[in-house]
Copies of this chain bind each other. A is one copy, B any other.
Amino acid sequence: MDSLTPATAGKTEALAARYGHDAIPLAGPWNETIAGMLGHRSVRAYRPDPLPEGTLETLVAAASSAATSSNLQTWSVVAVQDPEARAALAEVASGQKHVRQCPLFLVWLADLSRNARLAEAEGVALEGLPYLESFLVAAVDAALAAQNAVVAAESLGLSTVYIGALRNDVQRVAGLLGLPPGAVGVFGLCVGYAADPGEVKPRLPQATVLHRERYATEGEAAQRAGYDTALGEFSARNGMGPEGWTGRVIGRLAKLRAMAGRDRLVAALRGIGFPLR
């Protein structure tokens, strides 16, 4: 047990909230930044309060500071305020009301179009652009940038939630935001003050996701059973029914209709400038 310096106060409680009391990992060093990350909750209800001036620029400065593959910087972000655009984006995202409700909505782009414009201006061809690898680089760049923005936002007392459902119709999102070919909204992000921050959601035990030297699945079935119980209890406490993780994974992945159009992502990406060779 750590002594309760300001930096370690709450460490055991934070780990118990994240993993459940029966699966607390032997975590070592600790500080306020780490405590902030451990406290993350995805929030789907926002107060209308505006953000302090300069918040968007602070979040983008954090985003710009993330690593980017070969410094190619193949991401961009669109900040959307317009209520009609918000309503249309919420519709793409299966009607998620927080897309309209949050004071700041960010669409994070995998963006190869900037490098394509650079090449055109310089009169060179970029053979590497049309490949799946370059799309993946751009999507990962966008994710690293966005996660820095999330950590920054939460460190300021704001809440967030990613909106992957923008991928239900990437072509419509591209049309709404005036994206050039080679730019795609990988996900959205709501930012604002939580109406109800809710409880930290437990995750799979470290023994399930952390492998040493080689991938190993010994013990996984028992770990999953324990996590089913922990997530079921969390869900019941939070008015989401008692179903555990196993049932939720099956509900999300068993039937194509749950993909809400994302089973057509290859064709949709090809239609907006990503050949995915």
Contact = CB atoms under 8 A, between A and B. Distances in A.
Interface of A: 15, 18-19, 25-34, 36-40, 42, 52-58, 60-73, 75-82, 85, 109, 114-115, 117-119, 121-122, 124-129, 131-134, 136-137, 139-140, 143-144, 146-148, 150-152, 155-156, 160-162, 164, 167, 177-180, 183, 186-187, 201, 203-204, 206, 208-217, 220-221, 224, 231, 245-246, 248-250, 252-256, 258-259, 262-263, 265-266, 269, 276-277
Contacts of A183: 215
Given A72-B252, A117-B220, A31 B136 contact: no
A64 B263 contact: no
B62 A217 contact: no
Given A66-B147, A69-B164, A150-B67, A213 B80 contact: yes
Contacts of A40: 65-67
A148 to B, nearest CB: 5
A57 B259 contact: no
B258 A212 contact: no
A76 B139 contact: no
A276 B119 CA distance: 29
A256 B277 CA distance: 12
A37 B129 CA distance: 29
B263 A131 contact: yes
Given A32-B32, A114-B208, A126-B250, A143 B133 contact: no
Given A118-B249, A147-B144, A162-B67, A29 B15 contact: no
A209 B38 contact: no
A118 B215 CA distance: 16
Nearest to A231: B71
Nearest to A157: B29
A55 B67 contact: no
B37 A152 contact: yes
A65 B201 CA distance: 9
A245 to B, nearest CB: 7
A139 B162 CA distance: 15
A73 to B, nearest CB: 5
A180 B124 contact: no
Given A128-B253, A183-B215, A54 B33 contact: no
Given A34-B155, A131-B259, A140-B187, 11 more contacts: A26-B57, A27-B61, A28-B53, A32-B33, A34-B156, A64-B204, A72-B252, A79-B212, A119-B254, A127-B254, A128-B259
Contact of A209 (B52, B76, B125, B152): B76
30 contacts: A25-B61, A27-B58, A28-B58, A29-B156, A33-B36, A40-B66, A63-B209, A67-B150, A69-B162, A70-B248, A73-B209, A75-B209, A76-B210, A76-B211, A78-B214, A79-B211, A118-B224, A119-B249, A122-B246, A122-B250, A127-B254, A127-B256, A128-B258, A133-B259, A140-B140, A140-B187, A147-B148, A177-B215, A178-B215, A183-B215
